Amino acid sequence: MADADDRWQLLLFPESASSVSGQVDTLFWAMVVACGLVVALVFTVLLVFGIRYRRGSPASRRGSPLLYHNRWLEIGWSIPVLAAFLFFFAWGALLYVEILDPPTPEDGEARRVNVIGKQWMWKFQHPEGIREINTLHVAVGQTVRLRMTSQDVIHSFFVPAFRIKQDVLPQTYTRLQFTPTKVGRFDLYCAEYCGLSHSGMVGEVVVMPPSEFQDWLARRDRPGTPQQDGERLFRQYGCSGCHGEVSSVRAPDLAGLYGKPVPLESGGTVTADAQYLRDSIVFPSKHVVAGYAPIMPSFKDQISEEDLLKLTAYIQSLTPEEADAP
């Protein structure tokens, strides 16, 4: 039996395979129907006037005062057009927010995957540390939350079957969330021209039944989770020398920092999210914490985007009870 979301599917139209794809399709076809009605109305009026006032027609061609200024006529066509525009705008805006800033899943858990776009491939890292290139394996019905950045130029993560697309930017983290509803293999594209081999920057999202996905995870090598790799990098780059408990250098405490407001020397505040942590590593003078001297060196061009994601994952995992050894 065909899935309910397939009711809009047409020849050459992408398959519907995510929790939001049906809503996107409904909005699309509603706008197509609305635009079709407007086009039909315009052409109907043109046809009527063309026949009525054709050459040789006895219809009067003298102008009527009502045609030059009729307030109710102006209101009659302006208000419905404005209302329709606002209706579709609100509908699209709410759907946009649901896709890019969705609520927490009902079970409170979403599978978090780091994504790096580079010329010309997609690199993925699962929370277990499993890495993939150009292929992302996920479980059907499980919400997946992507944290994405680019190593070089602007890319765009686009899965037509899921009806999701989000730009992937250098030096910036963007996010995207989806819940696949069908098992199968679904094409992944870069939807932003990114160089000579842009057309070859393709991949696929492999959606598996939960049991098969767990078997797949069990068979994969696990070199280390992002948090474990991040802890190693934290020590390798000397971060623990300043931010550790026994450090002689006075630096902000990172334990429990993630998600909290940070007072700045400039007088404002900023939320300690992943973007703030990345900027603090690469551009430490951008957000100087109140009460601390701006002595941290910049690690710009010294740490790869992949390692930056690992460092932010480690700092995010720190709790106030944990102590960072030097």
Count CB atoms within 10 A of the CB of residue 240. 18
Rounded CA separation 315/309 (Å)? 10
Greater model confidence, 242 or 265:
265
Q: How confident is the model at residue 324 (pLDDT cuts 50, 70, 90)?
A: very low
Looking at per-residue pLDDT, the higher value among 269 and 221 belongs to 269
* Tokens 């057309």 -> residue: 199
Q: At residue 325, does pLDDT exceed 50? A: no
Q: Which residues contact 319 (CB under 8 A, 6 or more apart)?
A: 255, 256
Which strand ranges, in their side-by-side order, compose the sheet holding 111-118?
Answer: 131-133, 121-125, 111-118, 144-150, 174-178
Question: What pLDDT score does 12 carry?
Answer: 64
Kind plus residue range of the DSSP H or E element containing 28: helix 21-52
On the question of pLDDT at 111 being above 80, the answer is: yes
Per-residue pLDDT tens digits for 242-254: 776 666 666 777 8
Question: Which range is least confidently modeled, 107-121, 159-173, 287-301?
Answer: 287-301
Report CA 80 to chain centroid distance, whole Å. 33
| pLDDT, tens only, 113-158 | 999 999 989 999 998 888 899 999 999 999 999 999 999 999 999 9
Sorting pLDDT into bands at 50, 70 and 90, what band is 5?
A: very low
Strand residues in the chain grouped as ranges (E)? 111-118, 121-125, 131-133, 135-139, 144-150, 155-159, 164-168, 174-178, 184-190, 202-208, 261-263, 269-271
Mean pLDDT of 27-33: 91
Using omega within 30 degrees of 0 as the cis cutoff, is the peptide bond preceding 91 cis?
Answer: no
Q: In this model, does residue 2 exceed pLDDT 50? A: no
pLDDT interval class at 167 (50, 70, 90): very high
Mean pLDDT, the chain, whole residue set: 83
**Nearest Cα residue to 147 out of 98, 190, 111:** 111
Please say if the pLDDT value at position 62 is more than 80.
no
What per-residue confidence (pLDDT) applies to 61? 65
Q: Collapse the DSSP code of 135 into the 3-class scheme (helix H, G, I; strand E, B; otherwise coil) and give the result.
A: strand
- 63 vs 129: CA distance, rounded Å: 77
Q: What is the mean pLDDT of residues 5-23?
A: 73
The reported pLDDT for the residue numbered 260 is 86
